[in-house]
Structure 1
Amino acid sequence: MCKVYVVGLGPGDSRCLTAEARSALDEAQVLCGYGVYVDLIAPQYPEKEVFTTPMTQELERCRWALESARSGRTTALVCSGDAGVYGMAGPLLELARDYPEVEVAVVPGITAALSGAAVLGAPLGHDFCVISLSDLLTPWETISRRLECAAAGDFALCLYNPASRKRRDYLRRACEILLRHRSGDTVCGWVRNIGREGQESRLLTLQELREEQVDMFTTVFVGSSTTILAAGHMVTPRGYRQR
């Protein structure tokens, strides 16, 4: 059977790996993916063949996984978080049209929006938007328009890829857009290295977030107008207590 699994590993801690993901990894003969993510799981499978590619070689990685599966080896293409959220499920399925003999199975994982939210409390308890600030594949004009619309709609926000060495001021720029629609006292938070060694987090206001220095390993949460601090946690109420 020709089969490739696209497996979401969750935040990295093996305790957050779903049973379905574990089963797929156990079955696979070959593991492939971005090196940082493969390193999270490969030590648990020293007997398996491993193939990695660096950042920006995502399509090559997907083609290799499909070729590996077509050769008769059950293959697992791994991603952090969920494979369908800024992950490899999309590009692999697009390429899979050229490999009709290969069966593709997408295995969900815990994306950073959910694992990071759990660290802070319940910031996504009501309607929310997830937006990446990386303009590597999406123009900043599109990102800024999405931020503007989400802010105008009073959604709680989860921001992926908030900064990098080349985008040091993107979080500041995003906060300036958000501040046009909501108070500088809006409850916010961030979590770094979710579910991995060195995990850290902070609760702060939107005005303070504007000056914060973060990196690509950080996930940022911006509250809506109803988000509160409750027992030291960030909470966006759904309204149960109003009924």
Structure 2
Amino acid sequence: MIQEPLFYLAAFFAVMIAGISKGGFGGGVGVMAVPLMALVIPPFQAAAIMLPILCIMDLAGLKAFWKKWDNRNILIMIPGSVLGILIAFLTYRWVSDDHLRILIGLIAVVFALNYYLNRGAADAEPKSANWAKGTFWSTVAGFTSFSAHAGGPPMNMYLLPQRLDKTLFVGTTVVFFTVVNYVKLVPYALLGQFDTTNLMTALVLAPLAIFGVYSGYWLHKRISIILFYRICYVFLLITGSRLLYQGITNLWF
């Protein structure tokens, strides 16, 4: 089990934010989890520790949002996500920790900036489910989810323009990422990422994951989603910028 106290400080916020986001706000800000932990440990180890935790969160999320999802979007998105996971698995050997830091940092920064620069998108005409767009963005989501559990930004690029009912939106993302995360267990195991250290660390953090999901479900009915996202995106931008700096300086300076 990891002994570094600083890791558990980062992990506490990472798991709580991921749980609250997944349990009540569509999981989008859960992209913060791996960047926060990657400030202390290697990025893919952070992803490996988070995966069993996310799988536990998914089960709790399914219970909370049972039958509250959009079937058409699920049918469109699942095949593309599996393809994206396969592509990421086959190319994993060519991606270093610093490449991952840059990838995760870019996703975090772009997603945060997109949120702040597109406030007017809420006034746009709602879009409908689309096979071409859904397949593309879900493939991207599968790829980024494999490397950093950062499938939320691509999925939001596809789902948010549809302006689904809040509960339907969250339920759809819960089902989608439940499938994605359980599929990822196979390639992660094949890559030897579930060693004793990672699994024991995940086990210690598991109760916090369940608490985070149900906290998110409770907040889903009581807090302004706008306020929650504004706070989280500030920290997402800061964390992503830090990872970009680390990755770029390690590789080229």
- TM bucket (normalised to shorter chain) is under 0.3
Q: Greater strand share, 1 or 2?
A: 1
TM-score under structure 1 normalisation?
0.27
Q: Greater helix share, 1 or 2?
A: 2
The structure, 1 or 2, with the larger RCO (C-alpha pairs under 8 Å, 6+ apart) is: 2
The structure number with the bigger radius of gyration is 1
TM-score under structure 2 normalisation?
0.26
